[in-house]
Amino acid sequence: MAGTDKRKQSLYFPEDMLREIQEEATRQDRSLSWVVQQAWRIARTEIMRFPSVNDVIGEPALPDRKEEEQQRGS
């Protein structure tokens, strides 16, 4: 495993999904964090195949707010 950097992050799940994750964590005697991390490791190559928001055909990428502020000189 790469490093021990631990940062807090709030994640929001639908109630039913969260209950399923909690049940699986309990079944495996693991933390919610551990279950979600394992799910990400298993699913990330599949998820990376999804098109990004900017990949919509025929639509240019929208600048983010930081770029807009930099252009205005803020």
H or E stretch covering 44: helix 32-47
Please enumerate, as own/partner, the contacts of 30-36 that have beta carbons within 8 Å and a separation of 24 or more.
36/11
Sequence-distant (6+) residues with CB within 8 A of 63 are: 71
H or E stretch covering 11: none
In this prediction, residue 4 carries a pLDDT of 73
In this prediction, residue 11 carries a pLDDT of 92
Each of the 74 residues of the chain gets a pLDDT tens digit; together they read 567 778 888 999 999 999 999 999 999 999 999 999 999 999 999 999 999 888 866 656 566 666 666 667 75
In this prediction, residue 6 carries a pLDDT of 82
The amino acid at 54: N
Report the alpha-carbon angle 51-55-59, nearest 5.
Answer: 150
